[in-house]
Amino acid sequence: MDKSKIDITNITKLIKEKNQVLVLFILVIAIILAAYFYFFLKPEIGALQKVLPEVAGLNKNIKEVDKLIDNIDSFKIKIADLKEKVGQYETRLPTKKEISSILNHLSALASEEDIQITGIKELETIKGEIQEGEQAYSGVPIEIDMKSGYHQLGRFISEIENSDRLMKIDDLEIKSTSENLTEHNVKLIISSFVLVKE
């Protein structure tokens, strides 16, 4: 029996030693893992935490760019519409070089109303220029001498007011003629606005 008692004592000692080795092994592994975390993973996690907000910002920017790319066709349509409007405004507000076309336009309007123009000329610009950003607009006075009846004159003025070009009546002088009671000598001063391009 003594021998079995010794064997049990030896076995328990061996088990305790194995347990101590196992605990020591687990402790060494835990220390290695803690050192790995502290020296390698912790700095990487810190760097990752610094980068994450930047990544989130970049993702947001990517989504905004994707939305813009998705809307590119609508932007193209808007650009085409704006170009068309610019063309319309350029028609309504020609450059100073196009004064002759304005004079021709006024002559054609008068002709449509059976008005006889006896003289048409551009007067010197008296008005100052109105600055709007980098462009300047100027009113160009035009004097028209004509022979007309009241009704034709009214329709002519209406055509001027409804014209595609920006114009306004500055002065109107009507004198009767002794030759024809229904026809009058009319002097009309019209300002046509032009774009002064540099």
DSSP codes joined into one string, 1-46: -HHHHHHHHHHHHHHHHHHHHHHHHHHHHHHHHHHHIIIIIHHHHH
Q: What is the pLDDT of residue 2?
A: 54
Q: What is the pLDDT of residue 132?
A: 53
Q: What is the pLDDT of residue 81?
A: 92
Is residue 174 in a domain?
yes
Q: Output the CA torsion 2→7→13→19 (10° steps).
A: -150
Longest dimension (CA), the chain: 163
Residues 102 and 65 in one domain: no
Reduced to 3 states (helix: H, G, I; strand: E, B; else coil), residue 131 is strand
Q: What is the domain count for the chain?
A: 2
pTM of the model: 0.53
Give me the tens of pLDDT residue by residue for the chain, a chain 198 residues long.
Answer: 455 555 777 777 777 777 888 888 899 998 888 888 888 878 888 888 888 888 888 899 999 988 888 888 888 899 999 988 877 777 777 777 778 888 888 899 999 999 999 999 888 765 555 555 555 677 889 999 999 999 999 999 999 888 878 888 999 999 988 788 888 999 999 988 877 764
Residues 58 and 116 in one domain: no
Is residue 78 in a domain?
no
Q: What is the chain's Cα-based Rg?
A: 47
Q: What is the pLDDT of residue 133?
A: 56
Q: Which element (helix H / strand E) includes 166?
A: none
Residues 56 and 148 in one domain: no
Is residue 90 in a domain?
no
Q: What is the pLDDT of residue 69?
A: 86
Residues 45 and 122 in one domain: no
Residues 153 and 109 in one domain: yes
Q: What is the pLDDT of residue 123?
A: 84
Give the separation between CA 72 and CA 124, rounded to whole angstroms.
48
Give the separation between CA 124 and CA 191, rounded to whole angstroms.
11
Q: What is the pLDDT of residue 96?
A: 74
Residues 192 and 105 in one domain: yes
Q: What is the pLDDT of residue 135?
A: 54
Q: Which domain holds residue 146?
A: 95-196
Residues 8 and 49 in one domain: yes
Residues 26 and 100 in one domain: no
Query: From the CB of residue 144, how many other CB atoms can be counted at a distance below 10 Å?
Result: 22
